[in-house]
Amino acid sequence: MRTLFRLIAASALLLLAAAPAAAEDVVPSPTPTAAEGVTVPDFATKSWILVDAESGDILAGQNYDGQRPMASTIKTLTSLTLLPRLQYDSVYEAQPQETLTEGAHVGVLAGNTYTVDQLFHGMLMRSGNDAAVALADAYGYQRTIDAMNAEAQRVGATSTVAKSPNGLDQPGQVTTAKDLAQIYRVAIQDPRLQEILTAKQAEFPAKSPEDPTQPRTTFTIYNHDTLLDSDYPGFMGGKSGFTSQAGRTYVAGADRDGHRYVVALLGIGGGTTQTARQVFDWAFQNADSLQPVGELPEVGDEVDITPVAAASAPSDLAPMPLDEATQAEMTTIAQTAQQVAVQAGSVSMPDVNQVASDAQAAAGQVVTVTGAVPAADQVGAGADAVVAGLTQSPFAGTTTEAAAGLSRIARHSGSRLAQGVPVVAATARDRGGAAADSRRAPAEGPAGSRHAPACRAGAGTSSLALVHALWLPG
């Protein structure tokens, strides 16, 4: 147990310095568009769109032709491109470039083998940037980027420019809400994509054993989408994203009562899935009043594609990070994510006092960096571990006054808290009050976070977290 917790704490310290800067504040503009007589709420999102997935009619939106970075929602385009081009059951041996990818990791380790199927689950369920690069390398990295841009043009997403398979910030890598909705609308027609996006958990391969006679184990990865977790009626699956330049992004679909809607949001000002839920709820409540205010472009003819096996000796690979320090950090992140996940699967529930004590110790180290320490007599602290995407970590739920389920906060696609990466954090509560409910947190993000005092709105507030929230791009 001590080893497990040290791994978590070490990962927290390692990742703090890598957290991206907060996205710019959201200033909604221009005025939302909808049919005459339909009142559109303020969804506090820079660019969004509501689309009828069947007809392609645009039913409402705001600034949906404005180009913005898309973060990990680009993985819907990666999926649209590579699902038909790679043999789903073919096996790929991971390369160092993939393990060294920045941002969110599912735990792809160089020299280990994975099926294309497993890599898609890791990329979409845990938003693994390492898995996205592995898929691109398996087909040919630059070949994948070229094919992604060709696919975007084919489906009519002509304002989209892809420069990576995972959505990490790149100059000129942009999309629009309109394009993103179109990409999702076409991609979700592949039943494999919908199966992955609506899977709540899956098994992912752990590190290959040193003894080849021993079987390779797996660990469980969990989908962090809270619309899925809450069993939102008719949910078709969604993909979220976050980077410092893109802010929060999201695209999803829902199908019920004879209506099949797609929502795409870029530059979200509130919680990611909370905002999407608000748009979907509003759309279904006003379904009889909504009328087309535009339409998505026609989709071009499908290209005749024969899927190929993942490359056995790839030569067209992602660029290697030049910074040796970054290489070392990313290697440690990937290895630690797997170690913690595997160990967490077999540990028993620890004593709550020991958990809180260890978390406080780890938090104290991090707080020296953040400089946001609440007064000890004003707070009561508990702890929870976020372990490689586990929804129920062995540290969760020990008492009603323990920390407010950071494992669920991590899954909250608005929060991007160390997604797929182990991290320990301590949250605090007002003396005599209950810990905050992560599902009702007013905002998850670098600005206005109820769980991150190092962030602007939270700094210096004694009832908030003792320790940072890690906002990893992914």
Sign, Cα dihedral of 100, 203, 208, 120 = negative
Q: Is 72 a catalytic residue?
A: yes
Residue holding tokens 């990742």? 15
For 289, half-sphere exposure in the C-beta direction (CA atoms, 13 angstrom radius) is 13
Distances (CA, A) of 428 to 162, 374, 442: 41, 9, 16
Dist. CA 401–CA 398, nearest whole Å: 8
Q: Which of 75, 79, 239, 438 is catalytic?
A: 75
CB 357 within 8 A of CB 311: no
By three-state DSSP, how is residue 114 classified? Answer: strand
CB 197 within 8 A of CB 235: no
**Cβ-based burial of 469 (10 A; exposed 0-12, middle 13-18, buried ≥19):** buried
Q: Is 46 a catalytic residue?
A: no
* Token digits of residue 360: 């406080």
Q: Is 127 a catalytic residue?
A: yes
Rg of the chain over all Cα atoms, to the nearest angstrom: 22
Dist. CA 46–CA 25, nearest whole Å: 10
* Token digits of residue 455: 């962030």
For 144, half-sphere exposure in the C-beta direction (CA atoms, 13 angstrom radius) is 33
Q: Which of 11, 72, 449, 463 is catalytic?
A: 72
* Token digits of residue 44: 């506090």
> 324-329: long-range contacts at Cβ-Cβ below 8 A with a sequence spacing of 24 or more?
326/100, 326/102, 327/100, 329/14, 329/18
Q: Which of 11, 47, 79, 127 is catalytic?
A: 127
CB 472 within 8 A of CB 240: no
What DSSP line would sit under 112-144, residue for residue?
-EEEHHHHHHHHHHS--HHHHHHHHHHH-HHHH
Q: What angle do CA 171, 172, 173 make, to 5 degrees?
A: 95
**Closest listed residue to residue 250, CA positions, set 374, 107, 103, 71:** 71
Dist. CA 208–CA 218, nearest whole Å: 10
By three-state DSSP, how is residue 322 classified? Answer: coil
Query: Which residues are designated catalytic?
Result: 72, 75, 127
